[in-house]
Structure 1
């Protein structure tokens, strides 16, 4: 249901420990491109402006960590492994934060939609009630007009009979 509401838009992340750096970079870039597409579609406003900013900041942090790793060419494997572990931890925390924000935004959006639906339902019920009242009024008016027509037809018939029985001529 959520995917239908979002026009089947989705971004998936492979957050296993041993995925290549190039794949992580591509995932982040794909997400940023996706945000950019939504931003263009929404007249420059991304789905969550604060999330877009946070993604860019996190991307910068990851790039900085990667530069640190590259600068550590002469360092021990243990030190490099420690920095990589920190980078992976930062990356996973970033993903968790993004997932939480998206989940919260979706909940808010869903609540907004439910609220709009409830308002629409109340408006529909009020319109149906008014329509029912108008139908009753029009039915009453139709009944009244039929009664008047029947009375007029009876009166016309009575006057015709009366005219036939009277021998009055009009010149």
Structure 2
């Protein structure tokens, strides 16, 4: 059953006392020492209050995706996914993700441009939201092999809320040749 947002923008009702929510965070970097940045960002996630990193996948390399589609001339991305157990509200978690990006030199000059670090909140429990400040699940996660593949590696039973099983979504991408 899906929970709809009932409080402020981006925030569902708080979880029951002591009950963490499973959040899925996608990490990507295509500038600088990508591997070092990913490792450091995972460590930053592990230091967030009320949050534990339950698992993270071995990073994979992918072609940069721009507004015009895949760009093989751009630096390649290193991508992974982390599963968090958190009691932070989704908007608070997202604010922390943006702070971690900033700490690692992220500049938001161009949509889908090259970046030192990109952190996306892919899913937060079974919450669904179309609020402009926080869309859940992430609107393009089902189209991105570089999100689905590492996620499936660490959670074979994963589901993208309201969309479907990650294994099925990845199989569909592979058969269509996109992602």
| More RCO (CA 8 Å, sep 6+) | 2
The structure that is strand-richer by fraction is 2
- Give the TM-score normalised by the residue count of structure 2: 0.22
The structure that is helix-richer by fraction is 1
Larger Rg: 1
